[in-house]
């Protein structure tokens, strides 16, 4: 594939991501209203799972092809991108477009404990430089428990349901399909461009592929923010980071144990922990433009780290 074709496909991928996110988020929020489900629960389940599928597919394909660095970098780098890029951009949209801040929300605060647990467990499991099959099963089991907990919370909520039936399941499914196709086109073309520039596998995994597979989260969160659905915007980021570790890494390690490089243990994982802890506290107060700048600064530091490899 020539670099010109790769750039063209990159643009098409962005278009599919943007329009797919609009349809998917709009119909997800309507579905939540109809079923009496909290918009936050929709954000951390339907939207988060849908936008985490690219990470799962890319990581599995990379692992089966023997590119463990690519798979691991994809997951870790994607979690950093979700907070440092996606959530930061969301705060800017709320501030500059909607003239408001992201206010604290009880459901988001509750789920942030799970997000924090996920990254702490990842750091502990990575200490021996291998995520084993047993540890993968533990991750996956915790994700099932988390989903059940969400189900119980949703069942006990007082959210009123609506019987108007405005949800278009065609547009809901079509939006998700457009998101996934757009993500795959974007990643494939971006990897081609990176290879043409002579970038190494671990850098591709941590940067191009990680940011690329975070594009559905970015598109979905930006779309939700523009529509004023702050619960979905924040829930998508939190839910996606939980799914990336518990679900994606859990499935990946169960299929094929994941070897971890020193660079990831010494630099990237500590940065992800700091970013997660910062987010844990910042969502408990109004998340302002300043908060977005702080989160984005972590993302810039992450990109700078990659230049040192």
Residue 208 near residue 191 (C-beta atoms within 8 A): yes
Ordered domains of the chain (ranges, CATH): 3-157+167-306 (1.20.1420.30)
Q: Give pLDDT tens digits for 72-111.
A: 777 888 899 889 988 898 888 888 888 888 887 888 888 8
The structure tokens listed for 38 are 């909290």
Using the predicted structure, report yes or no on whether residue 53 has a pLDDT greater than 70.
Answer: no
CB-CB neighbours of 44 under 10 Å: 31
Question: Which residues lie below 8 Å from residue 17, measured CB to CB, with a gap of 6+?
Answer: 178, 179, 182, 183, 186, 215, 216, 218, 219
- Could you tell me the pTM of the whole model? 0.77
- Kindly write down the DSSP assignment for every residue of 156-187, as one continuous string: T--PPP-------HHHHHHHHHHHHHHHHHHH
pLDDT of residue 80: 92
Place of tokens 């461009």: 193
Name the nearest CA neighbour of 104 among 287, 290, 298, 294: 287
Q: Where are the beta strands (DSSP E) in 87-220?
A: 130-131
Cα separation, 50 vs 43, in Å, equals 10
Residue 226 near residue 89 (C-beta atoms within 8 A): no
pLDDT of residue 173: 80
Band of residue 163 on the pLDDT scale cut at 50, 70, 90: very low
């Amino acid at each position: 594939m020539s670099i010109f074709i790769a750039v063209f496909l990159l643009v098409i991928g962005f278009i599919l991501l943007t329009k797919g996110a609009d349809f998917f988020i709009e119909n997800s929020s309507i579905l939540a209203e109809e079923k009496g489900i909290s918009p936050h629960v929709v954000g951390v389940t339907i939207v988060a799972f849908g936008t985490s599928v690219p990470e799962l597919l890319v990581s599995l394909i990379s692992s089966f092809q023997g590119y463990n660095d690519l798979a691991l970098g994809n997951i870790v780098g994607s979690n950093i991108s979700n907070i440092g890029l996606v959530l930061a951009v969301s705060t800017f949209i709320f501030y500059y477009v909607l003239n408001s801040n992201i206010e604290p929300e009880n459901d988001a605060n509750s789920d942030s404990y799970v997000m924090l647990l996920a990254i702490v467990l990842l750091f502990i499991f990575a200490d021996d430089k291998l995520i084993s099959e047993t540890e993968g099963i533990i991750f996956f089991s915790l994700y099932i428990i988390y989903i059940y907990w969400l189900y119980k919370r949703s069942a006990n909520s007082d959210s009123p349901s609506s019987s108007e039936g405005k949800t278009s399941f065609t547009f809901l499914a079509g939006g998700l399909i457009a998101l996934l196709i757009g993500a795959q086109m974007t990643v494939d073309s971006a990897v081609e461009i990176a290879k043409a520039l002579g970038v190494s596998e671990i850098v591709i995994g941590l940067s191009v592929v990680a940011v690329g597979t975070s594009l559905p989260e970015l598109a979905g969160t930006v779309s939700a923010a523009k529509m004023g659905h702050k619960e979905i915007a924040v829930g998508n980021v939190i839910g996606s980071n939980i799914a990336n570790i518990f679900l994606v890494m859990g499935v990946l390690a169960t299929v094929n144990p994941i070897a971890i490089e020193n660079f990831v243990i010494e630099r990237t994982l500590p940065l992800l922990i700091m970013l997660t802890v910062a987010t844990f506290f910042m969502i408990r107060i109004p998340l302002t433009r300043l908060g977005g700048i702080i989160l984005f600064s972590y993302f810039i530091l992450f990109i700078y780290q990659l230049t040192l490899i």
